[in-house]
Amino acid sequence: MARAATTSDAFNAVAEPRRRQILSYLAAHERPVAEIVTALKLDQPSVSKHLGVLRSVGLVRVRCDGRQRFYRTNAAAIRPLHEWASEFEQLWKHQLSRVKERAEEKANEVKSKSNPHS
């Protein structure tokens, strides 16, 4: 089996750096495609294709007005990612404090070695 489609879920869609850029850019305001193109310096077809992926997993929404299409990020679709990562929040805090402790221990060892008679 090949890699899962980028359109299969938010995790796969967000793996692409440009799509993350687009989501961040669209977080504040809705924007027409052309503005994304100039702001992020990407080709228009590329932007449209990325938006298509984002739309297919619900990460962005569109509003049509004449010939313009205003995209905005649907932040709620990012929650699953945030929640999955939160599973590990306590863990990395513990791990970091342990690293800190060991660093301090080591510092003390070095101290006593370099100054054995102190």
Partner DNA sequence: AAATTACATTCTTATATGGGAATATGTCAA
Partner DNA sequence: TTGACATATTCCCATATAAGAATGTAATTT
- Residues near DNA (CB under 7 A): 1-7, 15-16, 18, 32-34, 37, 43-53, 62, 66-69
User: Toward DNA, which CB reaches closer, 6 or 77?
Assistant: 6
Q: Is the dihedral of CA 82, 86, 92, 97 positive or negative?
A: positive
Interface stretch with a copy of itself, choices 21-29, 31-39, 47-55, 109-117 (CB under 8 A): 21-29
Exposed/middle/buried for residue 13 (C-beta within 10 Å: 0-12, 13-18, 19+): buried
| Position among 44, 68, 86, 112 found at the interface with a copy of itself (CB under 8 A) | 86
Which residues are at the interface with a copy of itself (CB under 8 A)? 3-4, 6, 11-12, 14-17, 20, 23-24, 27, 73-76, 78-79, 81-82, 84-89, 91-92, 95-96
